[in-house]
Structure 1
């Protein structure tokens, strides 16, 4: 390298380190296109836009750390290593997304069945709760507690009513509910019988 080139490089670095925009533009112009090409090759042509975004992000990091570089070679090494590392992160993220997608498509039928089962179950429960809300007050109170998981003995102790009365009112409430529920609602009701 001639002494003129060394002087030009030193001047460019000093200007760049002091935050001179023109010096930053010169460095950007020097390395931008090769770095985009480099990123695109690593990313196996995932997309030129992603390559450009990576390079721009790396240049922002370069500018933030501008005072740490002593030569253009240091800057060049930093840029290429940073672009490579950013590309690897994109590839790893892409792999995770691909695994997630593969898992989703592999289990899609099971997933859809579970979603449909949950929808049906929710609608049946809604039908049951609406029917319970239409019961007379005492029946509604007892059936609401039974559906919530309380036993007749627990309800008896809390309400101060004999267990036999709880069971009688439960039977009457079930009889009323059976007349107002659909087949699926009755099936669910049988669980609480």
Structure 2
């Protein structure tokens, strides 16, 4: 003997499968509070807006798949499983976000004011050096840019199709010209790269 409750669920499922918005509304009113409670329990340390979003997304998914449910019990199971899986995704994303935040915080703590000031000075000196290199004659500039990239004289000679002695003479000429235009810290930085 089938209970009246089961018959009502079956009738509601048939209406829901056909796209009846009132059936969706009824299912929403029946399960929304329970699913919200369930999501809040899984997302303990998260904002309640996350739980609300998870539950609403679950109802959206259930409506999209409405025709695939063969029983009301299957629909109910889908609601809970989808909510659980979505909550686990939120938790995983939160873990990744916290991990990034912790890394950022640790990195930031390593930068005291003196360290930051030192990095600013290095950046400005490097900018000055790159600008001065851009003003060099073409072949000197090409050689110096390759040196700044960390290439050896032999690699530069092969790339530019010139001899190693030409690379060395262009490098010497570039250093001579740069001495005239760079500040003392710019020269120190240049010597670091050479």
Which 5+ residue runs of structure 2 have no aligned equivalent? none
Give, in angstroms, the shift of residue 130 of structure 1.
Answer: 3.0
Which is worse superposed, 58-67 or 5-14?
5-14
Q: Distance in 2 between matches of 1:126 and 1:79?
A: 58
Spell out, residue by residue over 1:112-171, the C-alpha distance to the aligned partner (whole angstroms, 9 max, x if none): 858963x54443233223334445x4xx6325413422639939x9568x948963x754
Number of positions where the alignment pairs a residue of Structure 1 with one of Structure 2:
186
Report the TM-score, using the length of structure 1 for normalisation. 0.76
Which is worse superposed, 4-13 or 52-61?
4-13
Report the TM-score, using the length of structure 2 for normalisation. 0.75
Residue matched to 1:106: 106
Quote the RMSD (CA, aligned, Å). 3.5
Alpha carbons of structure 1 residues 77 and 141: separation in structure 2 relative to 1, 3 Å: same
- 3-state DSSP of counterpart to 2:70: coil
Query: Aligned runs of 1:22-101 on 2, under 5 Å?
Result: 22-101=22-101
**Cα contact 2:153–2:167 (8 A) shared by 1:** no
- 3-state DSSP of counterpart to 1:77: helix
Give, in angstroms, the shift of residue 58 of structure 1.
Answer: 0.8
Q: Distance in 1 between matches of 2:107 and 2:27?
A: 50
Q: Distance in 2 between matches of 1:186 and 1:83?
A: 63
**Cα contact 1:32–1:55 (8 A) shared by 2:** yes
Residue matched to 2:146: 148
Give, in angstroms, the shift of residue 90 of structure 1.
Answer: 1.0
